Structure 1
Amino acid sequence: MNIYMSPPIEIVTTKNYAEKQASVPPLNERILSSLTHRSVAAHPWHDLEIGPEAPVIFNCVVEIGKGSKVKYELDKTTGLIKVDRILYSSVVYPHNYGFIPRTLCEDNDPIDVLVIMQVVEIGKGSKVKYELDKTTGLIKVDRILYSSVVYPHNYGFIPRTLCEDNDPIDVLVIMQEPVIPGCFLRAKAIGLMPMIDQGEKDDKIIAVCADDPEYRHYNDIKELPPHRLAEIRRFFEDYKKNENKEVAVNDFLPATAAYEAVQHSMDLYADYVMETLRR
């Protein structure tokens, strides 16, 4: 016959209860202890390497995917992609759009890049504007585009770059497929789209995905079909109109201008960000 013994009943006294409570750290201390052992997520702007072949071929963070009507952005504090807004006009991003890591422009943002395929904030075809949250490093929804347009291509930023607006440089990446926000990819700069957003410089790097067999052979923006450039221009001219915001797009510049912009934002990042981190 099997005999099952119940565990002894512990008699709780005021003394041993106090001893047990003393051995258990306060809740806030337990939380802090846990946090000190938690791995920290990489920040797409600062921690992602730009790549050994920069400024010709570089990693870039996609904020907005091709075909998206959502304007996503990198949140500088968290490192996450956040939704900035939904485009107000009936346009979408013609190619993937984002920024080049470890670059810095005069607007204190990383240099923008349009990839025809970096960290991606907004996927192609999206009407949701995502942005990187700089505090948490997560991708957040900034807004839904106000216009009936979607991002024509994947859109994001280039890590470890900095522009004058204190953001990494934006990049629009042209490629065959939309990608999920927050991913990173290899992009090749083929041109620069000078843009003024509400009176402030907000240039975009136009790039292609370096690992997309359909687009990786492009080396300069002049090789793209004229209609492709027209749809990119039209998207950026229209996507904020229903927000009563003015955007001016100037003539596209060649790949050499993009290289210079990326290199400049890399230098700004090194000068302003890295020096601050060393202090």
Structure 2
Amino acid sequence: MIIFQLQVVEITKGSKVKYELDKKTGLIKVDRILYSSVVYPHNYGFIPRTLCEDGDPMDVLVLMQEPVIPGCFLRARAIGLMPMIDQGEKDDKIIAVCADDPEYRHYTDIKQLPPHRLAEIRRFFEDCILLVFIIKHKFCSTFFFFHGILNECSDKKNENKEVAVNDFLPSETAHEAIQYSMDLYAEYILQTLRR
């Protein structure tokens, strides 16, 4: 089993505060407060030295008993991949377990998790993304309505709003996705050095 270092940067388990790594400063900033009563079900972050097609590092949700502070490193084992589409773009998530948590470290594949846990994870991402879209779309529509400009919010991104969380894929697929994102990162670094 592959155990990797993870830097949790966006949200701790049970929090509504979404943090994000500011690429210019290297500091962690507050991106937003989640809408409604939605909270992250587990610690969420990224795998360092990876790059995905969206230009960001590989996202990962780490199952463990306790929340951890943003910016800390922990050892995790990928147990599956959650293929996801957000606003028409690929936005897959690695599902992992903390390698040092006695409650979760024995899991080696996503199929070993209880069905309720998988439903909880799926529902969180579906609801969270949809809520962000609805709130932004309502604000935009209201703003332009009051300013006498109709249909300004119906750009392609809003018209084609799609949130799709597909079936969870096994740990082997997660390992392949991580390796691919590491290769993309290495290629990006090489291209940057050649400039």
Unaligned runs of 5+ in 2: 135-160
User: Structure 2 matches for 1:33-112, cutoff 5 A?
Assistant: 56-63=2-9
Q: Does 1:260 align with 2:176?
A: yes
1:144 positional shift: 0.7
Q: Does 1:169 align with 2:58?
A: yes
1:240 positional shift: 2.3
> Going by fraction, where is helix more abundant, 1 or 2?
2
Within 1, Cα distance between the matches of 2:80 and 2:114? Answer: 13
1:148 positional shift: 1.6
> 2:185 — aligned with what?
269
Within 2, Cα distance between the matches of 1:252 and 1:180? Answer: 27
1:147 positional shift: 2.5
Letter in 1 for 2:183: D
Within 1, Cα distance between the matches of 2:66 and 2:193? Answer: 37
1:147-174 Cα offsets, whole Å, 9 max, x none, are: 3210000000000000011110000000
Within 2, Cα distance between the matches of 1:145 and 1:212? Answer: 27
1:180-214 Cα offsets, whole Å, 9 max, x none, are: 01111111000000000000000000000011111
* TM-score with structure 1 setting the length: 0.58
Letter in 2 for 1:261: A
Work out which of the residue numbers 164, 185, 189 in structure 1 matches 2:74: 185
Which of structure 1's runs of 4+ aligned residues deviate more than 6 A? none
SS at match of 1:234: helix
Say whether the 8 Å CA contact 2:63–2:98 is kept in structure 1: yes
Within 1, Cα distance between the matches of 2:74 and 2:193? Answer: 26
> 1:46 — aligned with what?
none
Letter in 1 for 2:13: K
Q: Does 1:196 align with 2:85?
A: yes
Work out which of the residue numbers 94, 104, 109 in structure 2 matches 1:220: 109
Say whether the 8 Å CA contact 1:124–1:152 is kept in structure 2: yes
Say whether the 8 Å CA contact 2:13–2:41 is kept in structure 1: yes
> 1:92 — aligned with what?
none
Say whether the 8 Å CA contact 1:146–1:240 is kept in structure 2: no
Work out which of the residue numbers 152, 155, 170 in structure 1 matches 2:41: 152
Within 1, Cα distance between the matches of 2:130 and 2:173? Answer: 28
> Going by fraction, where is strand more abundant, 1 or 2?
1
1:273 positional shift: 2.1
1:235 positional shift: 0.3
Say whether the 8 Å CA contact 2:86–2:129 is kept in structure 1: no
**RMSD across aligned C-alpha pairs, in angstroms?**
1.3
> 1:232 — aligned with what?
121
Letter in 2 for 1:154: N
| Rg comparison, structure with higher value | 1
1:278 positional shift: 5.3
Unaligned runs of 5+ in 1: 1-52, 64-120
Count of matched residue positions in the alignment of Structure 1 and Structure 2: 168
Say whether the 8 Å CA contact 2:84–2:93 is kept in structure 1: yes
Letter in 2 for 1:134: K
Within 1, Cα distance between the matches of 2:83 and 2:130? Answer: 18
Within 2, Cα distance between the matches of 1:277 and 1:139? Answer: 26
